[in-house]
Structures are given as structure tokens and as C-alpha cells.
Structure 1
Amino acid sequence: MLNCKQTSLLVSQSLDRRLTWRERMAVRIHLWICVYCRRFTQQLKLIRQQMSRWQQQEITRTDITLPQVARDRITKRLDTEA
């Protein structure tokens, strides 16, 4: 049987790779017993979901502009360094 540390590692890895049948069964058994690891799993999934939504919003945002003062400062710095 897995302990919490092993389970949390496998849950985290499951977001990036497919676990083996044995690993999946061991995680399921542990999650069935441990409320804390179930919460951790839910939190990880929520974080991943929210990050994905945030990335999509950032890609589609077009209202982000650099203030003119900052543009002038960058231009000035580039002119002096060139």
C-alpha cells in the first residue's frame, strides 16, 4: 500500500504521463482511504484547469498596451546602447 508521499507523487505524475495499471490501482486504493490525498488530487486538478483557462485568456487578450512613457524610455535606452 502506498503512503501519502508516494501517492501525491503519482497523482502529480499522472497529469503528465499515463500511470501503469498497478500504479493506478494503488492510487485508487489510497485515495479511497485518505481524505487528505483526495483533497490534494482535487486541488491539483483545479490548479491545472485554472492555469489552462488563464493561458487561453492571455493568448486572446489584445487590450494590453505599453504606456507611452515606458516606450520612450525603452527607445531612449536602445538608442544609447546601439
Structure 2
Amino acid sequence: MLNCKQATQMLSEKLDRPLSTKEKLNLGVHTSMCSSCRQFGKQMQELRFISKRYTQGESENKK
């Protein structure tokens, strides 16, 4: 079973690479029981979305 430190690390890695089936399973079990890590994962996804929108806006402004 993952601890919160391992889960948050994996949530971060999930944004950069595909997780293995074992990693997905372990992360799913942990986040189903840990609302803090679940919230962290949502925040990471939102930050990624905001960052992409920001960089897309910058590239459109340079044209």
C-alpha cells in the first residue's frame, strides 16, 4: 500500500508518463481512501490545464 508521499509523487508522474497497471491499481486504492491525495490529484490536473491554456495564449499573442 502506498503512503501519501508515494501517492503524490505518482500523481505527479502520472501527468508526464503512462503509469503501469500495478501503479494505477495502487494509486487507485490509495486515492479511494485518502481525500487529501485525491484533492492533490485534482489540483495537479487543474494546474496542468491552466498552464496549457496560458502557454497557448502566449503563442497566439506572438503571431
For the superposition of Structure 1 and Structure 2, which TM-score range results when normalised by the shorter chain?
over 0.9
Question: Larger RCO: Structure 1 or Structure 2 (Cα < 8 Å, ≥ 6 residues apart)?
Answer: 2
2-structure distance, mates of 1:41, 1:51:
15
1-structure distance, mates of 2:14, 2:44:
11
Which protein has the larger Cα radius of gyration, Structure 1 or Structure 2? 1
SS of the residue aligned with 1:36?
A: helix
Uncovered stretches (5+) of structure 2, i.e. residues with no partner: none
TM-score by length of 2: 0.95
Uncovered stretches (5+) of structure 1, i.e. residues with no partner: 63-82
One-letter identity of the residue aligned with 1:56? Q
Give the paired residue count. 62
| Structure 2 partner of 1:46 | 46
1-structure distance, mates of 2:57, 2:17:
26
Q: RMSD over aligned Cα, in angstroms?
A: 0.7
